[in-house]
Amino acid sequence: MIGYLGVDVGSVSTNLVVIDEKTNVVAYIYRRTMGEPIRAVQEGLRELKELLPLGIEIGGAGTTGSARYLSGVIVGADVVKNEITAHAVAASHIVPDVRTVLEIGGQDSKIIILREGVAVDFAMNTVCAAGTGSFLDHQAERIGIPIEEFGAYALKSQAPAQIAGRCTVFAESDMIHKQQMGYHAEDIIYGLCQSLVRNYLNNIAKGKELLSPIVFQGGVAANLGIKKAFEEALETRVIIPKYFNVMGAIGAALLAKERVENKPETSFKGFSTSDIDFKTSSFYCKGCSNNCEILKIEVGKEVLARWGGRCGKWEIE
């Protein structure tokens, strides 16, 4: 069996997926990055290898996410793509006529507008963490409810509280105030879900035509309260894919499959790369006034890659 590996490394989670030649998901890993992307990728490869059927060979590999270049060097990627492309490809593959993709991850949110399978517009929110997974994790911990049960609590609400959602600081203080006033936990939680959806639609989706079918993916899609709030606000059904939390990795795997069809062999370094001691460092280039920060990855004294400059002067094969 030939498989295709997709790796999505973000600030909060690191996801790895292997699809087969018919693009079915064979195995996947969803784990926390914990501020150590190299370690997360290497440990993810070890775990993924144990889940794969005997005899499967990786015919191609792709990476995406905020650490896509770094992870691309580690695994030996055939293709390295941004998150917008990867998520759009995955959503179009699973829901071929999708026209709107809502994606909310650990620390950022994005929206992708597709028409006839082509991404024609997108927007990202990387400045404020309001509505993202890390913010919801914090609120669940503060209230004392496991994040896995957050959505179920929200669905019990009969009279949701009005919560300010434009800022994490205001949202938290508003929730504390409502708790002190005696509101039920489920009403505060669903009120928070509604406010975060309003914030998303008024900022990230502002000015965009959100047409059905609408696909909701990313880790926050596990929260049924957020899904319900989106459906109420948009007055339409919102589809959550089976593998909603690893869609970026699925997109990277699909792109890798497409890329290697025109290559004699894959660049994938094998699962043994999980045992290599990679070192990363950075320096500032003084060649011009741009003062670019150049990132470097090495094994021993061998420089595997450099990136980050505007002119490409420091990049090597």
- Please report whether residue 234 resides in a domain: yes
286 in a domain, yes or no?
no
Query: How confident is the model over 24-52, as pLDDT tens digits?
Result: 999 999 998 888 999 999 999 999 999 99
Residue that terminates a domain, selected from 217, 240, 263: 240
CA distances from 200 to 30, 160, 238 (A): 25, 18, 15
What's the average model confidence in pLDDT over 240-265?
92
234 and 256 share a domain?
no
Is pLDDT at 223 greater than 50 in this prediction? Answer: yes
In a domain, 283, yes or no: no
Kindly report the number of other CB atoms within 10 A of residue 170's CB atom.
Answer: 14
Residues 151 and 223 placed together within one structural domain of the fold? yes
Residue range 277-284: mean pLDDT, rounded? 90
Same-domain check for residues 130 and 224: yes
Confidence (pLDDT) at 317: 46
CA angle (191, 192, 193) in 5-degree steps: 90
User: CA 140, 227, 10, 136: dihedral to nearest 10 degrees?
Assistant: -20
Average pLDDT over residues 130-158: 80
pLDDT digits (tens, 9 = 90+) for 98-125: 999 999 887 788 999 999 989 999 998 8
Lowest mean pLDDT among 47-61, 136-150, 182-196: 136-150
Domain of residue 193: give its range: 97-240
Q: Is residue 139 part of a domain?
A: yes
Task: Specify the CATH number for the domain of residue 6.
Answer: 3.30.420.40
Assess if residue 294 is contained within a domain. Answer: no
Cβ-based neighbour number of residue 241 at 10 Å = 19
Q: How many residues are listed for the chain in this entry? A: 317
Give Dmax over CA atoms of the chain in angstroms.
Answer: 67
Q: What pTM did the predictor assign? A: 0.88
pLDDT at residue 40 in the model:
94
